[in-house]
Amino acid sequence: MAKKIVLALVAAVFLIGGLVSCKKAESVASYKIGVVVAQTGNYAGLGSQFLEGMQLMVDNVNGAGGVNGIPLEVMIYDNKSEATEATLAAKKLIEVDQVHVLIEGTVTAIGMTIVPLANESGVPTVILSGTGLLDDQLGAWVFRPAGTEDNYIAKSLDYMSQELGISKYATLIENSGYGQGGKVYLPQRSPDYGMTIVEEQYFDPGATDLTPQLTNIKNSEAQLIFVWGSSPTAGMAVKQARELGISLPIMATPPQVMPDMLASFGESYEVEPPLLATTTKMDIWEQLPDSDRYKALCRDFVQLFMERYDHRPSLWQMLGAQYITFIEDGLKRAEITSTDVAEIRSQLRDALESTKDLQLLTSIYTMSPEDHFGQVEQTLVIVTFKDGEMVYLP
Amino acid sequence: MLANTRVIKEIPKRVATAKRQNLVLALFAIVLLTIPLGASPYPLTVMVDIGLYSIITMGLIMLMGLAGQISLGHAAFFGCGAYISGILTTKYDFDPWPALFLAALITGGIAAFIGRFMFKLHGLILAGVTLALNLVFYHLVSSLIDLTGGAMGMMSIPPLSLGPFTSQNLFFNYYLIWIIAILLLIFSLNLSDSRPGRALRALNVHAGGSEDAAQVVGVDVTKYKVWVFVLSAVYASLAGSAYAHYTRIIEPGTFMVQLSAMVALMAIIGGRSSPWGAFLGAGLIVGLRQLLRESIPVLVGGLSGSYELIAYGIILVVALLFMPQGLISIVRRAAPRKRAVLDES
Amino acid sequence: MGFSTALQVFFSGLNLGSIYTALGLGFFVVYSVTRVLNLAQGEFVMLGGMLTVSFYTMGIPLPASIALAVVITGLVGAGFYRFIIYPARNASGATKVFLTLGFSFIIEGVALRVWGWEFRILPAFLDTPSIQLWGATIFGQTPWVIGITLLMVIGLFFYFGRTIQGKALRACANEPLGARLMGISIERMALFSFILAAGLGAVVGALITPLTMTSYSMGLPLAAKGLLAAFVGGITRAEGVILGGFIYGMIEAITAGVIPGGYHNAIAPLILVVIFLSRRRGLLVTAGKG
């Protein structure tokens, strides 16, 4: 008898899991935003932070009455840092949950599988994945209003050659999807600034000991080390470099100076010469001149964020919030008249594509049929560290 | 003498078993092939995933059931199929179908090369070697950026097509993958019931895969074990190629140890005594994950990732504790068939 | 490679080697007594690190924090054996391996719940500064890692080789029937081996946190590395595990400095595979008894 029950249960799991029945599409009592991020697995940090920023903004919008009186409804699925799960979750959101718009918040190829899906199913999608390489591969339905490696490389390289007079430097790059951006772009762009890379070293996201790599760099002719990584090991690279007695200037990328990294490695960042990094204006908004229009913008966001979370926001949290603002703006302008999901999706897509001069936290965005990245101006800054604070270098 | 009488009694049992199995097989095929007529896209997608995993898992079950080995790195073979197909079709303009077969051939070749060295070794060593090979594969693929796109993935893989149908169409994918799965199932069942197959299984069950016993029986065990390993790699490769043309974007992280562990888990939970176990295992694990994704956010009202993980672990532990031989043992007990003496349930 | 660079690589290898050896020993302890391959060993390491950090940030002095972490992790190990491994004692080896995998998912999920996704770090023990030696730098924590691993190794050797209980433990795996006839309770020995492995793992966790930080998901990748290291040398002999750990560590350190890109990550396991295949059962295990 017990065995028959088990058999029935097993069959039930098999069937229920595999053959979920369609939910009926609801009338527009709310605008449904489907979200696929990593809550577990390698990218859980990014995903969780992205969600925090996003949720903050959603609550903000709903608290003010929603968009044209209609609230935002968010459905969040965990992609477990796996491409197959990301695809499945996205499909479910599109077909069963009938969302009007999709957000994908994982910075690697894991989210890219959603691009063809979005284009074929006709769902406006805002993704975090991908890099500047993919201009023409986003398709008609996918948007990416975020910064790209293009931006911060230009800023860094410019600073290095103009302010520091560097002509030869070494790269210390993470073996990951994120690091690959650096691996590809840095050699490409450096000659434009009159610089060459004389030493290339790599590290793994989970490594404990970077002394072999750092020693090689020390023995080379490099005048500066460009660290490119998003895992804590990147922060450790700075720590170990200083402990090894390397006193070359070090240039880092935004993920390395996020609040949690500073908490662990801030001290090492200050050891002479203090770390240099590109980051967003949000991190040093207090030091911006009053004439900078991003100052007020960032202040408002940071205060909003800190009211709820008690610590400064990071890049990912900021992007999460920014994506909601982008969608909110699209929804406002879309003049959505029907309750049919397909129509709403199409109207929203058109509205998103005609986004013009939208002031977001990282830049102004203007989308067009040819450009779904839409970034109009570059707002990254160079910072360094002193006395426990991040210091803006204008 | 005792052996002789047993053998004689076996023959009618074996015939009955075969007929019954064919019936089940036919029913299975019919059900699967008619599902798309009534189902909506999302469940079909889930079924496609189940189909893909079933194919890999079937290979693993043969490896475990016939050769008595565990592989902790089979995602590498899955990945070989995916990447070789991807590279041949995007970089060298191959047609997808020949690429698929070529990929299977190459992957099988790699497995054959490795297998020759490995089968004289103690059982657990294969687990370690396959684990290491999975890591080698992953890092190699991530590093050969010009060839594979590296960690950022390989995109724009062209679809498979047959006449007017292409793998951009969900139905096409479904039928392609499930037809492959059913054909491989038939092949596996025959292999399992063939003379070498039965001999291998008997050795596994009764003599712990001992090679001394093998010599007594007179079967060249090592050669067959290598062949089973190669076959399991080929199964995974076929699934990998189909996967590449289905998703059209592949990235190295998909082919890492987590996937290897998951398909091995499917094999154990499904039951490694029969290729049917692959479908049970894949169905259960995929179904379980979907079920958790549906139900836990509702129960928890918010971020469910960590709870899903905990629930997943608990259910796995419970399932393994109560069904150490896998789901298939439950199925068999509920619907017993006349067993040939050599089978282990 | 200049002398100081070679020396640097050498110390890096010693550091890594110690970590892998310590990890491998956790596998060894459980495997040699129960023949179970415990994939959750990495979770014990993670718990040791996370718990130590939690206690330390509460203000408890470091040695006490570590001790507390070890005790709690040991209890987790005991619970693991009693409620999951023991009930499955008649199942096949493969089933047991996947039970440990399922358990590691549970622990990982709980850790995510309790501690979140953030990485945690500890200062080097006693704030030991880096040492400069002939042009090479040894990070403050490294002597602790090497030293304590050495202590663990010596301790295990002594225990398994010399003491009655130790020999009893080994007897359980090698000759279960004989052990029972001698009045040895296999279940108690098995329980003890899990507690010991959990405790060892926790110590390793506390040791490596200053170097590599802990986070809720580090368990399985660590387990994979520890497993490889243990296999290379031959998981059934402690000497094998130790040799395997150091070989793996050295190979990683050397290839990290010498081979460009991510290739070194591919080369290290490849070298291990070649070692596996060239020796039938692992480097030190001779044919027959293991």
- pLDDT tens-digit series, residues A284-332: 999 999 998 899 999 999 999 999 988 889 999 999 999 999 999 999 9
A13 lies in a domain? no
Separation between Cα atoms, residue C21 and residue C27, nearest integer Å: 10
What is the per-residue pLDDT for B2? 53
Question: Residues B174-201, buried b or exposed e (16+ Cβ, 10 A)?
Answer: bbbbbebbbebbeebbebbeeebbbbbb
Q: Is A319 found in the same domain as A238?
A: no
Task: Supply the CATH number for residue A209's domain.
Answer: 3.40.50.2300
pLDDT band, very low/low/confident/very high, at A16 (cuts 50, 70, 90) = low
Interhelix angle B305-322/B257-270, nearest 10 degrees: 40
Separation between Cα atoms, residue A150 and residue B260, nearest integer Å: 36
Place of tokens 């936290």: A361
A22 lies in a domain? no
B116: distance to nearest CA of chain A, Å? Answer: 33
Question: Residues C196-226, buried b or exposed e (16+ Cβ, 10 A)?
Answer: bbbbbbbbbbbbbbbbbbbbbbbbbbbbbbb
pLDDT greater than 60 at residue C284: no
Mean pLDDT, rounded, for C109-136: 85
pLDDT band, very low/low/confident/very high, at B105 (cuts 50, 70, 90) = very high
What is the per-residue pLDDT for B340? 46
Asked if the Cβ–Cβ distance from B135 to C101 is below 8 Å, we say no
B29-50 pLDDT, tens per residue? 888 888 888 888 889 999 999 9
**Minimum mean pLDDT range among B154-158, C7-11, C232-236:** C232-236
Q: Is A251 found in the same domain as A219?
A: yes
A253-290 pLDDT, tens per residue? 999 999 888 888 888 899 989 999 999 899 999 999 99
What is the per-residue pLDDT for B167? 76
Separation between Cα atoms, residue B147 and residue B157, nearest integer Å: 13
Asked if the Cβ–Cβ distance from C262 to A175 is below 8 Å, we say yes
- Looking only at the bridges linking them, the beta strands covering A250-252 and A125-127 are unpaired
A388: distance to nearest CA of chain B, Å? Answer: 34
A293 lies in a domain? no
Give B156's contacts (C-beta < 8 A, 6+ positions apart).
A137, B90, B248, B249
Place of tokens 């007017």: B164
Asked if the Cβ–Cβ distance from A82 to B330 is below 8 Å, we say no
Mean pLDDT, rounded, for C147-155: 90
What is the per-residue pLDDT for B117? 77
| CA-closest candidate to residue B258, choices B164, B134, B149 | B134
What is the per-residue pLDDT for C268? 86
Interface residue B194 vs chain C (CB under 8 A): no
Mean pLDDT of the residues in chain A = 87
Separation between Cα atoms, residue A209 and residue C212, nearest integer Å: 8
A10 lies in a domain? no
pLDDT greater than 60 at residue B170: yes
Mean pLDDT, rounded, for B237-245: 96
pLDDT greater than 70 at residue C209: yes
Mean pLDDT of the residues in chain B = 85
Q: Is A269 found in the same domain as A131?
A: no
Name the interface residues of C facing A (CB cutoff 8 Å).
2, 4-5, 8-9, 11-12, 15-16, 19, 108-109, 112, 116-119, 121, 130, 132, 136-137, 139, 208, 211-213, 216-218, 221, 253-254, 256-258, 260-262, 264-265
Q: pLDDT: is B231 or A111 the higher one?
A: B231
- Asked if the interface predicted TM-score (ipTM) of this complex is over 0.95, the answer is no
A172 lies in a domain? yes
What is the per-residue pLDDT for B168? 80
Mean pLDDT, rounded, for C261-268: 82
**Minimum mean pLDDT range among A222-231, B60-69, B255-264, C190-199:** B60-69
What is the per-residue pLDDT for C3? 81
A12 lies in a domain? no
A21 lies in a domain? no
Rg from Cα positions in chain C: 19
pLDDT greater than 70 at residue A221: yes
Mean pLDDT of the residues in chain C = 85
Interface residue B325 vs chain A (CB under 8 A): no
Q: Is A313 found in the same domain as A261?
A: no
The set of chains that have 3 or more CB pairs under 8 A with A is B, C
Interface residue A91 vs chain B (CB under 8 A): yes
A75-90 pLDDT, tens per residue? 999 999 888 899 999 9
What is the per-residue pLDDT for B99? 94
What is the per-residue pLDDT for B4? 55
pLDDT greater than 50 at residue A389: yes
- Chain C residue closest in CA terms to A207: C212
Interface residue C97 vs chain B (CB under 8 A): yes
Q: Is A123 found in the same domain as A48?
A: yes
pLDDT greater than 50 at residue B253: yes
Domain residue spans of chain C: 3-278
What is the per-residue pLDDT for B225? 83
pLDDT band, very low/low/confident/very high, at B209 (cuts 50, 70, 90) = low
Q: Is A138 found in the same domain as A64?
A: yes
Three-state SS string over chain A comes to CHHHHHHHHHHHHHHHHHCCCCCCCCCCCCEEEEEEECCCCCCHHHHHHHHHHHHHHHHHHHHCCCECCECEEEEEEECCCCHHHHHHHHHHHHHHCCCCEEEEECCCHHHHCHHHHHHHHCCCEEECCCCHHHHHHCCCCEECCCCCHHHHHHHHHHHHHHCCCCCEEEEEEECCHHHHHHHHHHHHHHHHHCCEEEEEEEECCCCCCCHHHHHHHHCCCCCCEEEECCCHHHHHHHHHHHHCCCCCCEEECHHHHCHHHHHHHHHHHHCCCCCEEEECHHHHHHHCCCCCHHHHHHHHHHHHHHHHHCCCCCHHHHHHHHHHHHHHHHHHHCCCCCCCHHHHHHHHHHHHHCCCCEECCCCEECCECCECCCECCCCCEEEEEECCEEEEEC
- Chain C residues close to B135, C-beta within 8 Å: 224, 228, 265-266, 269
- Looking only at the bridges linking them, the beta strands covering A276-279 and A250-252 are parallel
Q: Is A109 found in the same domain as A209?
A: no
Q: Is A302 found in the same domain as A245?
A: no
**Minimum mean pLDDT range among A34-43, A382-391, B141-150, C234-243:** C234-243
Mean pLDDT, rounded, for C241-248: 89
pLDDT band, very low/low/confident/very high, at A378 (cuts 50, 70, 90) = confident
Give B101-122 as a DSSP string: HHHHHHHHHHHHHHHHHHTTS-
pLDDT greater than 50 at residue B94: yes
pLDDT greater than 90 at residue C108: yes
| Inter-CA distances, C183 with A50, B278, C179, C188, Å | 59, 43, 7, 11
The pLDDT > 70 percentage for chain A reads: 92
Asked if the Cβ–Cβ distance from C270 to B132 is below 8 Å, we say yes
The pLDDT > 90 percentage for chain C reads: 37
What is the per-residue pLDDT for C55? 95
Phi, psi of A169 (to 5 degrees): -145, 170
Q: Is A129 found in the same domain as A37?
A: yes
pLDDT band, very low/low/confident/very high, at C56 (cuts 50, 70, 90) = very high
Q: Which of A44, A202, A212 sits opposite C262 (nearest CB)?
A: A202
Q: Is A48 found in the same domain as A160?
A: no
CATH code of the domain made up of C3-278:
1.10.3470
What is the per-residue pLDDT for A382? 92
| A125 dihedral zone (left: phi>0; alpha: psi -120 to 50; beta) | beta
- Looking only at the bridges linking them, the beta strands covering A101-105 and A72-78 are unpaired
Domain residues for the domain of A195 are 149-285+380-393
Q: Which of A17, A77, A91 sits opposite B286 (nearest CB)?
A: A17
Q: pLDDT: is C70 or B3 the higher one?
A: C70
Sign of CA dihedral A276, A279, A285, A290: positive
Mean pLDDT, rounded, for B41-64: 93
* Peptide bond between residue A313 and the one before it cis (omega within 30 degrees of 0): no
Total domain count for chain A? 2
Burial class (CB in 10 A: 0-12, 13-18, 19+), B152: buried
C29-40 pLDDT, tens per residue? 898 888 888 999
Residues C197 and C38 sit within 8 Å (Cβ to Cβ): yes
A172-216 pLDDT, tens per residue? 999 888 888 888 889 999 999 999 999 999 988 878 788 888 988
pLDDT greater than 70 at residue C282: no
What is the per-residue pLDDT for A355? 93
A3 lies in a domain? no
Q: Is A187 found in the same domain as A83?
A: no
Q: Is A193 found in the same domain as A168?
A: yes
Interface residue A264 vs chain C (CB under 8 A): yes
Asked if the Cβ–Cβ distance from A45 to C265 is below 8 Å, we say no
C210-232 pLDDT, tens per residue? 888 889 989 998 999 888 888 87
Q: Which DSSP state fits C85?
A: I
- Chain B residues close to C232, C-beta within 8 Å: 128
What is the per-residue pLDDT for C287? 38
